[in-house]
Amino acid sequence: MSKFFIKDRQIGPGSPPLVIAEIGINHEGSMEKAILMVDDAARVGCECVKFQSHIIDDEMAPAAKEVIPGNANESIWDIMSRCTFNEEQEIALKNYVESKGMIFLSTPFSRASADRLERMGVAAYKIGSGECNNYPLIEHIAKFGKPIILSTGMNDLDAISISVEILRKHKVPFALLHCTSIYPTPYDKIRLGGMTELGQRFHTDLFGLSDHSVSNYPCLGAVALGACILERHFTSDMTWPGPDVPISMDPRALDDLITGANAIFQARGGSKTILKEEAPTIAFAYACVVSTTAIKLGEPLSQSNIWVKRPGTGEIKAKDFESVLGRKAKRDIASGEQISWGDFE
């Protein structure tokens, strides 16, 4: 499998990278903020926005009330409780996103949230790094038979291989995203080599990067290495509260990422050949064999009477200079003439 589709959007090395703007929980439970972020993403041409689907009681045990993430100062239970949308709100968001001609994705964090998204008729699933080794949940989602994008932060190749086996068993299209679950991720911990290693280990070119750094540089580098999907957190306003806002991109950065990813996609690949479009440059930039003094009939050609000079419009290019030396002129040649193959024996 070298490609798959989410709706009518082809995903694969033959298509520009799909840029996913992860709104996630940056809305802090506000539909108004969520809608604004959808609008801002659409305005700069983003094809896909992603939310998170949280049904707290099915997702977390009460012990989560005591666990505080490294990028926050309150428990994960309190954060997600505040940032949860109900089913009616999620349906409204999906409809709004799709009215903009964009792809709606959401990450389910529990069986109940996965079932909700399936009722909503989502076209594909994004599974987060924290669920990469949640094999019961992956199995549950894979049974829906829809494309899956799987982030792999905090998991090694052996753990990821079990998830891949589940996805292949159910014959669902999938892509693997390399990810480092450090917020923010220092550049030296991003390890783009890990992304290409996913492709090599699992014999797939459907891979990409979910990045938590503070710039577009890693994502752009990932495109040069073959990434088919790019994901970064997104916000309309970098001054908004929220644990993921400091590692998010704003609309201007999203615009730059889309433009840059498409440019690098067009630039990558190919082979080292001479293009027909280079002919006008060849005409002036190449050097050809030229007489540097007047040459008499029968006189041998040597470095004292010929050399190589621009333009490249003569018959004998500089690469053939050595093969001309020692040949005898068949005619009188004036100084400064471009030498032709018929000018010597």
Segments of the chain assigned to CATH 3.20.20.70: 10-267
Query: Which among 336, 240, 276, 316 is positioned nearest to 32, based on CA atoms?
Result: 240
Residue 212 has pLDDT above 90, yes or no: yes
Q: If you count them, how many residues does the chain have?
A: 345
* Band (72; pLDDT cuts 50, 70, 90): confident
Amino acid letter for position 208: G
DSSP class of 180: -
The CATH architecture annotation of domain 10-267 reads Alpha-Beta Barrel (3.20)
pLDDT of residue 125: 98
pLDDT: which is higher, 46 or 78? 46
103-108 vs 125-127, strand pairing mode:
unpaired
For residue 159, give the 3-state DSSP assignment. Answer: helix
CA 282 → CA 33, 274, 285, 288, distances in Å?
A: 55, 10, 5, 11
Query: Which among 161, 190, 188 is positioned nearest to 176, based on CA atoms?
Result: 161
Phi-psi region of 285 (alpha: psi -120 to 50; beta: other; left: phi over 0): alpha
Residue 1 has pLDDT above 90, yes or no: no
**Which CATH fold topology does 276-343 show?**
Type Iii Antifreeze Protein Isoform Hplc 12 (3.90.1210)
pLDDT of residue 80: 87
Mean pLDDT for the chain?
96
pLDDT of residue 14: 95
pTM of the model: 0.92
Residue 308 has pLDDT above 90, yes or no: yes
